[in-house]
Chains A and B, each alone.
Chain A
Amino acid sequence: MSLLRQMKAGLSIICLLLPLMASADLDIVVTKGYDSKTKVAIVPFFWEGSDLLPEKVENIITNNLVRTGRFEPLPAARMLSQPFSEEGIFFRDWRLLGQEFLIIGHLKPFGDAKLEAEIALYDVVKNRRIVRVTQVIGVHQLRDFGHSLSDLFYERMTGVKGIFSTRIAFVTRKIVNDNQYDYRLQIADADGQRARTVYRSNEPIISVAWSNDGGKLAFANKVGDRWTIFIQDLKSGQVNSISDARGYTSSPSFSPDGRYLAYVSSYRNSPEIYLYDFQSGKSERITRNTYIDTEPSFSPDSKSLVFTSEKGGRPQIYRYDLASKREERLTFEGAQNLRARYSSDGKYLVFVHFIDGRFHIASMDLATRDIRVLTETNLDESPSIAPNGTMLVYATQRGNRGVLAWVSLDGQVTNQMKSDFGDVIEPAWSPYLN
């Protein structure tokens, strides 16, 4: 009898144990994502003044976020309410609309041609405010304010520094008469707005490069039958050519520490890469072969540079180390790889990758040398990478006109811009500016 009871007890224990043993943590593996755009509601800001403001800050922010290709703003018509203060926010409503973030703003007149702005970003998922900005600004500063707010909000939402307050330099080309052109070097906001001319020439201007502090531009301009590199100080407007550069020089690239300018010269023979030292005022040749070496670009630490060389038969990307003076081939995949630029953190390269008869934008993880194709393009011009590495701007044809196109890394063309001064060519995205 006791044995039976023991058995019963045993059975009961087994019965009890079965569910217990099964109730360990549940393991789930997620191997893909939908990568849908981040849904953000930007409520039209409330302006207490009577005069119409020259800019709508919320529109500037909306357009900036859309241009990145990773945000999907909620049309104002679909909003259940349009709060301009925290008390008016019902997170549940915004969640019902599928929103992830919410931006509201309140603008009040503040003396002569000034206003007080209170703008805030909310996390609808977490039911909380992320950041609030209260600032007095001039009415004429609304556009800059919109860009810096965009930078702030973008960084808080993505963890990546925004590029909306950066600039883009580009060249326009317009036919004036037969065989006569008007070339202009222009600088605009990162969205292409507020373009201004900083240099003009009747001869072609190419390969525009920014100094690391954003204070100077280097470019090549044809002078007579030669190409000369000029450096323009953007504050003073002063333009200098590199004294030691002779012959056909182009493709300038500032070292981030400001000491060197790498450039290409074919003065003696085939195009070779030189290093101009601003301290000594002298140039040093760093490649020596009978093939084309071009498109130098410095690493963020200024210790090395990448360039394109045809010494392997086809254009491929090489890296030159300034200390050891040694060079190393980086790309082996693809028929051609060219126009390499370092990411701002120096961890990867972005470059033009020609494979299967098409141009792509590709990146290389420098730690593993793994190449991945980012964007399939029909581009015939060079792209320039935004300093945060998440966007490109390049010149392309629309109709029979050269325009500037913004492209996100996953290949969406998010914006295009034409110029009043003819075709747009040779864009160069600035570094972060402060």
Chain B
Amino acid sequence: MNNMASGDTGQNLSLPIIGAVAVHLVVFTLLIGSWSFSYSKPKTFEIPKSIKAELVVLEKPKPVQEKPVVTQPKPQPKPETVSKPKPKAETKPVVQPKTEAKPVLPKPVEPKPNTVNVSKPAETKPAVVETPKQTETKPETAPAEDLFENLLAEMAAEDSAIQEQIEAIEQSQIRQAEIAAQVSDYIVVITQQVEEKWSRPVELRLMDLSNIEAVVAVEILPTGELQSATVVQPSGNENYDQSVLRAIEKVRRFTVPQDSEVFEAGGFRKLNITFRPEDLMKP
């Protein structure tokens, strides 16, 4: 009995299940096709635009991520958001796949008659159309939906990954700007430190200094401590070169950014200091 019962139930269910699976497969393949199609666009435009569309995007990406999960109603709000600024570029890729996905649904209806010739075309069709949406046929649709959801999840993950990357770039750009600002602040401080310690020998004032210049390569530890100083471009005047080296040695500990990222990114590890005594040059 159990066997019979199972056999009966198996036979009873087999047709709808086959139909459902078939429909799901078709939908699925079409979905994949449409998704893959839709992805072709993002490739082209995301690379350049992602860098430019910084600030506005930060708020919008979140609504975009929700939309894909829901379904149809969103195509309309999207155009609105799309129409406003450049950020559209990024929202579009996400939006379009879904609008295209819908038209796919009616299509699967047509192919079915061809494939599902054996049994009930009329019944299966409405059931199929309804079931995927309502998820009534739980047992066997589960793998297909899992795939679908996995796909969506993966899509979402990719989206959010992209968003993260974009945000990371944006943040790094902001960070770069912060670093640049700090670097220029510290350049002023270091310049001042060296100027305070630079004593030009008085005999230099007897000379024509209009072209004198020396460059010193200075290696600094992250603590600001002087590691080495070398004249890499001598001035031609030994006393002058000694005076610039001495100035650097007298500073001994440079005021450098404590933030190691700023220190490294700013290039504080190695300074090229040019000494050009404009204050001693004739106007």
Contacts and interface: CB of A to CB of B under 8 A. Distances in A.
A27 B208 contact: no
Contacts of A343: 206
Contact of A30 (B50, B169, B194, B207): B194
A70 B267 CA distance: 35
A158 B250 CA distance: 15
A159 B205 contact: no
Interface string A92-119: 0001000010000000000000000000
A365 B237 CA distance: 14
A140 to B, nearest CB: 34
B277 interface: yes
B54 to A, nearest CB: 14
Size category of the binding interface on chain B: 35 or more
B46 A7 contact: yes
Interface stretch (A14-22, A145-153, A199-207, A420-428): A14-22
A33 B199 contact: yes
B268 interface: yes
A37 B279 contact: no
Contact of A35 (B162, B199, B249, B273): B199
Nearest to A412: B202
A366 to B, nearest CB: 10
A257 interface: no
Contacts of A374: 205-206
Contacts of A19: 172, 176, 261, 264-265
Interface string B27-43: 00000000000010011
A32 B277 contact: yes
A410 B206 CA distance: 10
Given A4-B39, A22-B267, A31 B187 contact: no
B194 to A, nearest CB: 5
Interface in B208-227: 208, 210, 217
Contacts of B250: 100, 125
Given A31-B279, A32-B195, A409-B202, A26 B266 contact: yes
A30 B218 CA distance: 13
B271 interface: yes
A4 B162 contact: yes
B138 to A, nearest CB: 29
A361 B196 CA distance: 27
Interface stretch (B57-65, B73-81, B119-127, B239-247): B239-247
A330 to B, nearest CB: 14
A31 B200 CA distance: 12
A27 B272 contact: yes
Interface string B124-161: 00000000000000000000000000000010001001
A73 interface: no
A95 B253 CA distance: 12
A159 B172 CA distance: 50
A267 to B, nearest CB: 36
A69 B203 CA distance: 12
A1 B202 CA distance: 71
A4 B183 CA distance: 35
A160 B239 contact: yes
Nearest to B239: A159
Contact of B277 (A11, A25, A33): A33
Contact of B207 (A27, A365, A408): A365
A316 interface: no
Contacts, number: 171
B179 interface: yes
Contact of B203 (A34, A100, A125, A390): A390
Interface string B175-189: 010011001000100
A52 interface: no
Contacts of B176: 18-19, 22
Nearest to A32: B279
A69 B267 contact: no
B135 to A, nearest CB: 26
A409 B183 CA distance: 39
A22 B179 contact: yes
A29 interface: yes
A325 interface: no
Contacts of B158: 1, 4
A384 B235 CA distance: 30
Interface in A186-214: none
A348 B207 contact: yes
A25 B247 CA distance: 20
Interface string B51-92: 000000000000000000000000000000000000000000
B271 A25 contact: yes
B201 A363 contact: no
B208 A365 contact: yes
The 7 closest A-B pairs by CB, nearest first: A33-B198, A370-B208, A26-B267, A365-B208, A32-B279, A11-B165, A31-B278
Interface of A: 1, 3-4, 7-8, 10-12, 14-15, 18-19, 22-38, 69-70, 95, 100, 125-126, 158-160, 343, 347-348, 350, 363, 365, 367-368, 370, 372, 374, 388-390, 408-410
9 contacts: A26-B268, A27-B274, A28-B274, A30-B191, A33-B198, A34-B198, A370-B210, A390-B202, A408-B202
Given A15-B172, A69-B202, 17 more contacts: A19-B176, A19-B264, A22-B265, A26-B187, A26-B270, A27-B272, A34-B199, A35-B200, A38-B199, A70-B201, A125-B249, A160-B203, A348-B206, A372-B206, A374-B206, A408-B202, A409-B205
